[in-house]
Structure 1
Amino acid sequence: MKMKVSVLAVVTCSLLTAPRALANAETPVKSGSVDLNGDGKAEAVSIEYDEAKDEVVLKADGASARIPGDGNAPDGLFIVDLDTRDKRKELVVRTGQTDSDARSYIYGFDGKALKPLGIVPNLTEAKGNGIILSDSWKGFWNQRDKYVLDAKTGKVSLVPQDLYAVGVEATVKQSFPLARSRTDKSAIATLAQGSTIQVLAASPPSGKGGAYLYLVKSSTGLLGWATAKDLMEKTDGLPFAG
Structure 2
Amino acid sequence: MKTQSPALAVVTLTLLTAPLGHAQEPTNSASVDLNGDGKQEAISLTWDEPRDEFVLKAGSATIRGGTDGNAPPGFVVVDLDSGDKRKELVVTTGQTDYDKQQHLYAFDGKALKAIGNVPALTEAKGNGIILSDSWQGFWNRRDKYALDKAGLVTEVPQELYAVGVEATVKQSFPLARSRTDKTAVATLAQGSKIQVLAAAPLGPPGEYLYLVKSSTGLLGWATGKDLTGKTQGLPVAG
AA aligned to 2:45 is I
Q: In 1, distance between residues paired with 2:42 and 2:206?
A: 45
Which residue in 2 is equivalent to 1:199? 196
* CA spacing shift, 1:85–1:22, aligned 2, 3 Å: closer
Say if 1:21 and 1:29, in contact at 8 Å, map to a contact too: no
Counterparts of 1:30 and 1:222, CA distance in 2: 53
**Structure 1 pair 129/19, CA: closer, same or farther in 2 (3 Å)?**
closer
CA deviations on 1:18-71 (whole Å, 9 max, x unpaired) are 264564461111111111111111111110111111111110001111111122
Deviating beyond 6 angstroms after TM superposition, the runs of 4 or more aligned structure 1 residues are: none
What is aligned with 1:18? 12
1:103 Cα shift? Answer: 0.5
Write out aligned runs for 1:64-75 (5 A). Answer: 64-75=62-73
Normalised by the length of structure 1, the TM-score is 0.89
Equivalent positions of 1:1-242 (< 5 A) are: 18=12, 20-21=14-15, 23-24=17-18, 26-150=24-148, 152-205=149-202, 207-208=203-204, 211-242=207-238
Whole-Å separation in 2 of the counterparts to 1:201 and 1:125: 21
Post-superposition shift, 1:204? 1.2
- Between the aligned residues of both structures, percent identity stands at 71
Contact 1:50 1:56 in 2 (8 A): yes
TM-score, reference length from structure 2: 0.90
Aligned partners of 1:22 and 1:32 also within 8 Å: no
Q: What number of residue pairs does the alignment pair up?
A: 224
User: Structure 1: 5+ residue runs without aligned partners?
Assistant: 1-16
| AA of the residue aligned to 1:54 | D
DSSP-derived class of the 2:50 partner: coil
What amino acid maps onto 1:180 in structure 2? R
Root mean square deviation of aligned Cα: 1.5
Q: Cα gap change, 1:209/1:95 in structure 2, threshold over 3 Å: closer, same or farther?
A: closer
| 8 Å Cα contact 1:22/1:29 also seen in 2 | no
| Bigger relative contact order, structure 1 or 2 (CA pairs below 8 A, ≥6 apart) | 1
CA pair 197-96 structure 1, distance change in 2 beyond 3 A: same
